[in-house]
Amino acid sequence: MADTALVLGAGGLAGVGWEIGILHGLAEAGVDLSDADLVVGSSAGSVVGAQLTSGRFTLPELYTRQLADPTGEIPGRLGAALIVKYVRAVLGSRNPEAYGQKLGALALAADTLDEAERREVIAGRLVSDVWPERRLLVTAVDAVTGALRAFDADSGVPVVDAVAASCAVPGVWPAVTIEGRKWIDGGVHSCANAQLAAGHTRVVVLAPQPAGGGPLPSPRKQADALAAAGARVTLITPDADAKRAFGRKTLDPTRRAPAARAGLAQAAAHVDEVARIWKG
Tell me which residues are annotated as active site: 43, 185
Cα-based distances in Å from 227 to 34, 153, 205, 210: 22, 28, 12, 17
Identify the helix (H) or strand (E) that includes residue 39: strand 38-42
CA–CA dist 97, 80 (Å, integer): 24
Residue 204 and residue 236 in contact, taking contact as beta carbons nearer than 8 Å: yes
**DSSP-assigned letter for residue 34:** G
Cα three-residue angle 263-268-269, rounded to 5 degrees: 95
CA-closest candidate to residue 214, choices 62, 99, 109? 99
CA–CA dist 38, 85 (Å, integer): 34
Count other Cβ atoms within 10 Å, centred on residue 81.
Answer: 8
H, E, C per residue of 66-89? HHCCCCCCCCCCCCHHHHHHHHHH
CA–CA dist 43, 138 (Å, integer): 8
